[in-house]
Structure 1
Amino acid sequence: MKLLLEKCRNSFEPEWQKALDFIEKEELPNKRRALILTEKLREKLSGQMPKWLQGDFLFHLIKLFSFSQFLGDFLIKHTHKLPELKEIYKKRFLPSEFRVELLESETEKSFMNRLRVYKNLQMSRVVLRDILGIADFQELVRDVTLIHDACIKAALSFAEKVLEERYGKPSCGFVVVDMGKAGGYELNYSSDIDLIFVYESRYGETTGGSYGKLQNHDYFTILSKYLVELLTKNTDEGICMNVDLRLRPNGTMGPLCNDIEALEQYYTAVARPWERFALLKARPSAGDLMRTGTEFLKLARAFVFRKYIDLTLIEELLRLKELIKTKVLKKGKKIDLKLSEGGIREVEFIVQAFQLIYGGKHPYIRSKNTLIALRRLFKWGFLQEKEYEELKEAYIFLRKAEHMLQITNFRQTQTFHPESEEAEELAKKMGFKSREEFLEKLQHLMGTVNAYFNKFFPTGDRKPLSAVTTLELQKLGFREPEEVKRFIEVLLNLKTLSAEETNRLDVMGERFLELLFDAPDSKNAMKNLVTFFEREEGRVFFFSILSEIHAIKLLFFLLSTKDFFIKRFRETPEIVDFIFNPDYIENPVTKEGLRQDLLEFKNLRFVKNLAEVRALLRLRLKRTEVEEFFKELTEIADFVIDTLYENSPQAFSLASLGKHGSREMNVESDIDLLFFSEKPLESTEGALKLIKELESLGYEVDTRLRPFGEKGELIFTVKYFREYTEKTARVWERLAFTRFRFLKGNLREEVEGIVKDFLFGKPLDKDTLHEILTMRERLERELGKGKNDIKYSAGGVVDLEFIAYIYQLYSRRQFGNTLKALRALSEKTPEFKKLTRLYRKIREAETEKRLFGSFITYSDRIVQLKKEIREAFGEFVEWIKKRV
């Protein structure tokens, strides 16, 4: 390489020396290739350095040469295209910009050559954007697909023009259907294009031309053959693309094109299961898209997707996997990025199998594009976040490696020997310093994919649930295997289960145990499942989703909660018919939506219970963060209060304090209510009735924050409230009223004015601050018991709440919400930016403990979290002392 460089230095003109400097210094995958192609370019340009080649474009071109022999040869042959490439390679194209216009009176030979030049120039643009890091993976494969689509559309238009002169126009439409990766807009740099040809009806003929008339089928057969020839014939510019037609009905034995009626008969009676996999990505790309294309898609959807959960595909999937394994074994030590265990095909199988099995009943998980489909499977709970992220990372890495392997000579290849020079170059193309580093990463990702494939689609016989031993339960990781074994026996001997239901449960075997083990709290899930089966609604629901693993996972999550779900299920068992409704999970819980639900269901308890379970599922499926979960629980409570208040108009106004007042209600939060009136009321019957109705719906109502607490009047006048706040109220009540929120009635302006004067009528002074801090110490000393207390103990929730109380009094602004107050403080004083994160974490831990009775994900983190919060509290105390 050094000798070659030296030789070139002696012969290259001064303006070309910088190209040699770049090759010598830059980390290129193949310096020799880059140098040889650069020398050829210089010779083609007669040693001249045109203006359009100067600057970064020259270096980018050299980099392209080092990656691809094929594109280098093409660009040197067509140097007149380089200025055009320079203009387009940094630009992001819209789909409409990929097109090849037909020219008047153009010969077949000229058209085919022009088509191939267009395709290779556009591929040069795409590859440049790839190796320079200008475009992401999804844009790259989309553009490759659109380039091929443009070529097919142009070839079809040319073929139709030629054949219409000979035979006239046909009586119906014709469409080219992309299959495989082209159908999902994720085509490789060097893929065969899988196509099928479809026309509307065999009944009819062409209008006639210089060669006479033809029946529709004969005409479209000729059209299909001519179209393939235009794309695949080897010309001066090579071929445009390889076309594979074997995915058509009956493969190579079947007709080249089929009408809709023939396809319907085939897919209804003859088609094999693997053809459903193939049609999953079918996309009409050229021709009569509106009519024939739409009819074809309608037919394909009916064949591909079943209205029920279809598990018959798993057997076919495993059969295909074994066939692929046999092929790969013949390749010896070579690595096959596509077909080896953990390769691209296994990721595609996982995605396609989920879509085919569940896509009929759950259309929102369908997508022809693998990455989009992966995202939807995660979004709708079929994949956990870790599974989604790892499969996505592996898929993109494998596809990029496949591209870099194909890019050299634009051959459709996915295999390489790990000890070859090809592997060395591939590692450099992928950005690794060494082949070993690349292979280590590759093997790790492929191992991850294969582990997931075997997890989702395991082979071998499953042991029935009844045959699982205590020792096996221990090996599976259960901490109390004897108790789990006893639970299994109770479950399989439940009198409420029919013999068929017991058998269906028994044959779930280890899958049932895996789901149980994955539940946040297996013990709660076991206990509550027995209760769940005692009701007919529970049994019917469980066995209706038995094959939907993602739904069973969610149900086990709900059953893991100590009594949150099972209590609501006992009260309103019919909620199970709605809890997994996609609209309920996707849309936020609002009072307006709840009002619509009440109009539909006419049962306040049912609407409340369903909404609360729905809010929890939205949190579990990451549609909300913890603060939004609190807001939705508060919204439900507000709706219930509004409904009860409006159904029985009262003479009093209503306000709230505590977590309800600040819109931060958690699981089991009580509601602190205040009742105001303009003048003394003779009876408290209306207030007591409202409290009783709220308690009957599961809320705990606390009225002890009223003036003088339990000794004071339940309903008090505005005048009395004003006098109390001016003369009697204590410091702790000022803290409580930072969470004041007016709810119902006609006294809003007067009451809110009194609260504002009470909170901010006098500034925060040293004595008040001292009293507040002493109060915090007393709460910690008297109530902060045990290492698992995260409310009152050092570093508990109350530390952060006291920061929010104090800051609101100091800043004379009522944020009415702990997180808002902490956020305002952090915006004003960046050193406290961590407070919002800490507050979210401690409230997440609190939620976990309230739901499951113990810490699940936070069990190992709670001590450190409390330590951080206490340190932050100390920092705030020092900060505020200097300012008061």
Structure 2
Amino acid sequence: MLSQLIEKLPSSVQAATRHNVDKAEAACTDLKNIPDRFNEDLIRVLTGSDYVAEQLKRNAGLLADLQATNDLYRTYDTGEYAQQLAQKLSVADSEMLLHMLLRKFRQREMVRIIWRDLTRISDMRATTADLSALADACIDQALNWLYNECTGKWGVPHSVASEDVPAEPQQLVVLGMGKLGAYELNLSSDIDLIFAYPEKGMTEGGRRVLANQDFFSRLGQKLIQALDNLTADGFVFRTDMRLRPYGASGPLVCSFAAMEEYYQDQGRDWERYAMIKARVVAGDQQAGAELQSMLRPFVYRKYIDFSAFDSLRSMKEMINREVRRKGLHGNVKLGSGGIREVEFVAQAFQLIRGGRDPRLQQRELLNILPLLPETVGMPEQAVAELTDAYTFLRNAEHCIQAVADRQTQELPTDEVGQARLAYSMGCDSWDSFMVELDRQRARVTEHFANAIAPAEEAEEESDQSSEWLLLWNSDYSDEEGEAFFIENGVDNPQQAWKAFSSLKSSRSVQVMQAVGQERLLAVLPKLMNEVVGVENSAETLERVLKLIQAVIRRSAYLVLLAENPGAMRQLVKLCSASAWFSETLAKQPVLLDELIDQRALYSPPSKEELQADLRQQLLRIPEDDEEQLMETLRYFKSAHSLRVAASDITGALPLMKVSDYLTWLAEAIIEVVLEIAWRLMTEKHGVPYKTKGVPCDPDFVVVGYGKMGGIELSYGSDLDLVFVHDAEANLFTEGKKPVANSVFFTRLGQKMIHILNTFTTGGQLYEVDMRLRPSGNSGLLVSSLKAFEEYQQKEAWTWEHQALVRARVIAGSVGLKQKFEQVRANILQQQRVLPELAEEVIKMRKKMRDHLGTSDKDADEKFNLKQDKGGIVDIEFIVQYSALAYSHKFPELIEFTDNIRILDAMEGTGVIPASDAETLREAYKNYRAVGHRQVMQDLSTTISADHLDDCRTEVIRIWGAQVK
């Protein structure tokens, strides 16, 4: 049967296969009830692997055992390697027997894994996962056996006891690095390990007392011998310890404190790169998790790590030089377009952005690649090509190593070896294999070249750039500095020179380290060339240099600008147009990253996308980490506000859409703030009851008034909010610390205000104004719906009913929202005596104008857009008066809460002439547009009295005709 199958093989591999079949003949004689597939698979495996043939020759019962257990054709359960090995090692009574049992176990499982790989029962990822699980089991079970053996001699290592904490027993922590750490071990990998232990101390209970360092060093040496020593039974895994602190010259084992100190003070960029894949593979898993948490800040910087560019570029060039120098074309790992280049692409982005995006803090390459389109903008096609190439290359690597269990990635150079590799890879011939290999490597080469752009070739700096550096490095007088700016066409040379010289002489610049100085000088000439090209160049320079001043101590941001000229241009353009924009960036330089992707910068998301994006970001934060939740909310708000501002400044979004987006942003944030506060409160006190036996759902709403309610938020707007619940006040929550419903909802409101109002390193989310609640500042923070309705019916002033026109529910219970809307409608649709209503509205309007408007002596020269006669508030009062006066006849007047749509309804019902409605709409838009521009330029909303004079005149006329 086997001979017939051999004859069906390509003639070029038949002799090698026949040789291996002869070698394994004894192993095949004990097989029973063999299905056809088994023989076909056996021939395929023996064609591809001399190692399997050798193992079957040495252990004639091995194949029969694997067949009888069906291990060749089934997937092991999680932990099965460890369970099987622990059972085998239970009989080991000496280190010599331990070594033998480990090697026998490894041989059996390697035959199984190679069989499954060459027959493609397992795909590439399953093969690497199996190999990694096998290594984990061997390391951990050997460590457990040796730990017990060592503690019998020298006692159990303990930490040093203190008054508060007793001495705790300690175990070794084994970190697996590289492919082992990432579950990506290949068929003949070395394993890279690092040994650590929690704390210094001494052993207790042994025949000799040893310091923990000495104990764990001896244990580590024994573990290496158990895995690495070459005996008559071979080895388990070649073990490499050179990735530990200080490399081969360093101690074999370090305490956690020593590890942290080393990486913090001396850790190099390549060690960060290596540590990405570190994983606790054996020993004390809990202590290992603590160690990795300690080392995470070394690997992943808190913000986008643009300082990694230079080191990554150097590493990339080193890879290129090595390929050229060693002529590694025949190496599927190290050659051009090989496995190492795919790994570099993924790990480079992990280093740069992993601190900002925890999704990138994973080890396995094929988990990282699919994230790159969303996280770094890599095209989907590029990811698909890299994934396919990596899979092909790793399969080829396994086929190469399956032949003799040798650690090599070199393509065979002999005809038989080439034919066997092509056959194992499923190719018709060596030529067809090479065509596919070259195609895959060419794709990798292309994407590797694009991953980290090479430094631009050193060109002679332009005369202009040299002049800017000369200006920076020279000791110019004020007259000379101003003259320089005059020559360069700056509109206000005095202002420009003052800003420039102020930065130059600042203490933060004077104490900069050399690397920071280099980065500043690399970006300064380019920045100055951009700035002098805008109209308000001096003002822009002042704004941009304030930002530079803010980031001087975190010079990675300077690298960001130097590496991204497009981002620099956007920065100058947007700072030129908006003081608000530059001030926001200066306060939160981390937002500079938002300038890089211009597609996102000028395409604000929809409300649904905002909600989904925010929830996705919060999923990455532990629910009990309130501080991190608050920081994430603040960054989210700032980043999206910045995007809206960019679209606003460049005219990509009209004013009304800007307000829509800013309002949606606030709504999305308030929704999750309510969810967070509700969860924190219910975890502490339990869920409140709406009625006896009926839990709240949460029967709580947040009502937005003013600009929030009217969908007219601007940058920096505060939020006018009112909280309402609908639960019986005398009931209690059902938790371990029950409180009355009234207390629960008050604390819920306080918690929300705390999350929104508190200043953190990320700033403040929103300033919350609660003065529009029933009875204002003297009233309860949270009202029941019943109390709210009674207050509005019996005690509320007319101006409070005016405010209710712009009120809408923005978060909370759907059922209570509907009830609130009905209460609102009932209040607003009351029939009123029009002269009395007009008198109250006019009185309130005059009071506001007297307190907030322009004084009489300045009225001929200045016009306050909002408060002066004929301004924004006049239009708002016309709208509110009309809603209160006529909504009992025309309910559509209170259907919406924004002024424009209420004016539309007034026109549609005939409450106001169409021409007057159009006049008010246009005046309102004009006022808001001018006010908006003033705010963006950090200017007052009071403008020249003759500006918008036509609008004012018309609004005054309509006020007199409408409010009467």
If the TM-score is normalised by the length of the shorter chain, which range does it land in? 0.5 to 0.7
SS at 2:201 equivalent: coil
Q: Partners in 1 of 2:250 and 2:558 — Cα distance?
A: 45
Q: Partners in 2 of 1:596 and 1:28 — Cα distance?
A: 79
Q: Partners in 2 of 1:250 and 1:378 — Cα distance?
A: 37
1:579-594 to 2 correspondences below 5 Å: none
2:120 to 133, 147, 152: 133
Percent identity over paired residues:
27
1:103 offset after TM fit, Å? 2.2
Q: Partners in 2 of 1:597 and 1:436 — Cα distance?
A: 70
1:263-412 to 2 correspondences below 5 Å: 263-290=259-286, 292-332=287-327, 334-412=329-407
What is the match of residue 23 of structure 1?
6
Q: Partners in 2 of 1:371 and 1:350 — Cα distance?
A: 12
Give CA-to-partner distance per residue, 1:788-808, whole Å, 9 cap, x none: xxxxxxxxxxxxxxxxxxxxx
Query: Pairwise CA RMSD of aligned residues?
Result: 4.7
Where does the alignment leave 5 or more consecutive residues of structure 2 unmatched? 159-169, 466-528, 549-556, 605-645, 676-696, 716-809, 830-885, 915-964
1:359 offset after TM fit, Å? 1.5
What is the match of residue 773 of structure 2?
none
Q: Partners in 1 of 2:535 and 2:443 — Cα distance?
A: 35
Query: Partner letter of residue 892 of structure 2?
Result: A
TM-score by length of 2: 0.55
Whether the 8 Å contact between 2:157 and 2:171 is mirrored in structure 1 is: yes
Q: Partners in 2 of 1:32 and 1:337 — Cα distance?
A: 26
1:261 to 249, 257, 264: 257
Query: Partner letter of residue 500 of structure 1?
Result: L
SS at 2:392 equivalent: helix
Distance 1:248 1:649, change over 3 A: same
Q: Is 2:23 the partner of 1:40? A: yes
Give CA-to-partner distance per residue, 1:242-277, whole Å, 9 cap, x none: 000000000000011111121122112122121111
1:509 offset after TM fit, Å? 7.0
1:236 to 232, 247, 260: 232
1:362 offset after TM fit, Å? 1.8
The farther-off stretch of 572-581 and 450-459 is 572-581
Q: Partners in 2 of 1:25 and 1:703 — Cα distance?
A: 88
1:289 offset after TM fit, Å? 1.3
SS at 1:284 equivalent: strand
Q: Partners in 2 of 1:502 and 1:321 — Cα distance?
A: 32
What is the match of residue 250 of structure 1?
246
1:223 offset after TM fit, Å? 0.6
Q: Partners in 2 of 1:528 and 1:368 — Cα distance?
A: 38
Q: Is 2:217 the partner of 1:221? A: yes
Q: Partners in 1 of 2:666 and 2:896 — Cα distance?
A: 29
Give CA-to-partner distance per residue, 1:6-59, whole Å, 9 cap, x none: xxxxxxxxxxxx1111111145983322211112222556xx463154532222
What is the match of residue 44 of structure 2?
63
1:610-689 to 2 correspondences below 5 Å: 645=821, 648-649=824-825, 683-689=888-894
2:898 to 657, 671, 693: 693
Query: Partner letter of residue 446 of structure 1?
Result: R
What is the match of residue 57 of structure 2?
76
Q: Partners in 2 of 1:289 and 1:255 — Cα distance?
A: 22
TM-score by length of 1: 0.59
SS at 1:170 equivalent: strand
Q: Partners in 2 of 1:385 and 1:148 — Cα distance?
A: 34
2:72 to 89, 113, 118: 89
Distance 1:207 1:39, change over 3 A: same
Whether the 8 Å contact between 2:329 and 2:336 is mirrored in structure 1 is: no
1:552-631 to 2 correspondences below 5 Å: 553-558=599-604, 567=655, 570-571=658-659, 603-604=708-709
1:537-556 to 2 correspondences below 5 Å: 544-547=590-593, 553-556=599-602
Give CA-to-partner distance per residue, 1:534-589, whole Å, 9 cap, x none: 745775599633346765552144468996756467437868998999x99xx9xx
What is the match of residue 156 of structure 1?
143
The farther-off stretch of 265-274 and 425-434 is 425-434
SS at 2:205 equivalent: coil
What is the match of residue 167 of structure 1?
154
1:442 to 414, 432, 437: 437
Query: Partner letter of residue 649 of structure 1?
Result: A
SS at 1:335 equivalent: coil
1:697-708 to 2 correspondences below 5 Å: none
SS at 1:648 equivalent: helix
Whether the 8 Å contact between 2:229 and 2:235 is mirrored in structure 1 is: yes
Distance 1:115 1:419, change over 3 A: closer
Whether the 8 Å contact between 1:465 and 1:508 is mirrored in structure 2 is: no
Whether the 8 Å contact between 2:56 and 2:62 is mirrored in structure 1 is: yes
How many residue pairs get matched?
Answer: 604
Query: Partner letter of residue 571 of structure 1?
Result: S
1:326 offset after TM fit, Å? 3.1
SS at 1:196 equivalent: strand
Whether the 8 Å contact between 2:354 and 2:360 is mirrored in structure 1 is: yes
Distance 1:271 1:529, change over 3 A: closer
SS at 1:156 equivalent: helix
Whether the 8 Å contact between 1:337 and 1:414 is mirrored in structure 2 is: yes
Whether the 8 Å contact between 1:541 and 1:577 is mirrored in structure 2 is: no
Q: Partners in 2 of 1:598 and 1:386 — Cα distance?
A: 46
Give CA-to-partner distance per residue, 1:118-162, whole Å, 9 cap, x none: 122222222222222222322221111000111111211222232
Distance 1:258 1:602, change over 3 A: farther
Q: Partners in 2 of 1:72 and 1:123 — Cα distance?
A: 12
Q: Partners in 2 of 1:545 and 1:331 — Cα distance?
A: 44
Q: Partners in 1 of 2:398 and 2:532 — Cα distance?
A: 51
Whether the 8 Å contact between 2:396 and 2:425 is mirrored in structure 1 is: yes
Give CA-to-partner distance per residue, 1:268-305, whole Å, 9 cap, x none: 21221211111111111111112x21221122212212
1:235 offset after TM fit, Å? 1.8
Q: Partners in 2 of 1:337 and 1:366 — Cα distance?
A: 26
Q: Partners in 1 of 2:298 and 2:572 — Cα distance?
A: 39
Distance 1:287 1:534, change over 3 A: closer
Q: Partners in 2 of 1:175 and 1:65 — Cα distance?
A: 39
Q: Partners in 2 of 1:466 and 1:688 — Cα distance?
A: 66
Q: Partners in 2 of 1:506 and 1:160 — Cα distance?
A: 49
Q: Partners in 2 of 1:430 and 1:182 — Cα distance?
A: 24
What is the match of residue 177 of structure 1?
175
Give CA-to-partner distance per residue, 1:144-192, whole Å, 9 cap, x none: 1000111111211222232223222222221111111111111111110
Q: Partners in 2 of 1:593 and 1:24 — Cα distance?
A: 75
Whether the 8 Å contact between 1:305 and 1:356 is mirrored in structure 2 is: yes
Q: Is 2:90 the partner of 1:103? A: yes
1:194 offset after TM fit, Å? 0.1
2:111 to 114, 118, 124: 124
SS at 2:194 equivalent: strand
Query: Partner letter of residue 659 of structure 2?
Result: E
1:683 offset after TM fit, Å? 4.6
Give CA-to-partner distance per residue, 1:828-867, whole Å, 9 cap, x none: xxxxxxxxxxxxxxxxxxxxxxxxxxxxxxxxxxxxxxxx
Query: Partner letter of residue 218 of structure 1?
Result: D
1:449 offset after TM fit, Å? 2.4
